[in-house]
Amino acid sequence: MTNLHIITPVKDSIETTLRTIDSIINSVSSVEFNYTIYNDFSTDEATEKLIVASQKYNFTLINLKELTIHPSPNYLMVLQLAQKKAIAENAHLMIIESDVIVENDTIQKLYDFAELLDHPGIIASVTKDLNGDINFPYLYAKKFNASVIETKKRLSFCCTLLTNKLLNAYSFDELNPEKMWFDIFISHKSVGLGFKNYLLTSLPVLHLPHSSRPWKLLKYSNPIKYYWRKITKGLDKI
């Protein structure tokens, strides 16, 4: 039986993060999982609340400022650390980001699909808004009727399982350190290595986009300003 590691990278947005933590900890699952939060240079106030939560819920809290002086975002380091731990313990790696609230059966069902689907590399839950409508980054899934979709399109890391076989097939040490985000590249790499990627529209999670990096909401409200900041400040490299 393959083990399960769950991680949540965190950058402030502490109230949303605490909801994420609560939804994970209170999940109903027959699979025992190892849960780690990677605190990516949150404020002192947010960090203190994470420390309190880690003591209350007994999850592992890793403060990246103790490991690096590289400024946030440090998604590359998070992926590299998490991959090594998952491989060492024969575990799938599930990423649940800090702006996502899972249902109480999400974790169990994602794990079950990893065991049942044909040669899976990445399996992701579709994301929905407070009204129950599919939202970014899966707007393209609105046209699908099937509940389990094999896809070559990008799968976000909002609520996503990377199988142990994929983790063993490609080292995240080879990822481009000049980039900030890696979901698109790893999605395509998985397919390129012969794995199948799946999107589950029957297993939605609540997504509150960019709660930790509110400037990214400009992508929808003021795209010109968003892309100006992206280009001139070197932000959001994918």
Q: What pLDDT, in 10s, does the model give residues 67-109?
A: 999 999 999 999 999 999 999 999 999 999 999 999 999 999 9
Domain ranges of the chain: 3-212
Q: What pLDDT, in 10s, does the model give residues 64-77?
A: 999 999 999 999 99
SS3 (DSSP) at 104: coil
- 130: β partners: none
Q: How far apart are CA 218 and CA 226, in angstroms?
A: 5
Q: What pLDDT, in 10s, does the model give residues 119-170?
A: 999 999 999 999 999 999 999 999 998 899 999 999 999 999 999 999 999 9
- What's this model's pTM, rounded to 2 decimal places? 0.89
State both tokens at 172: 């995240």
Which CATH superfamily does the domain covering 3-212 fall into?
Spore Coat Polysaccharide Biosynthesis Protein SpsA; Chain A (3.90.550.10)
Q: Is the pLDDT of residue 38 over 90?
A: yes
Per DSSP, 199 falls in state E
Q: What mean pLDDT comes out for the span 174-183?
A: 97
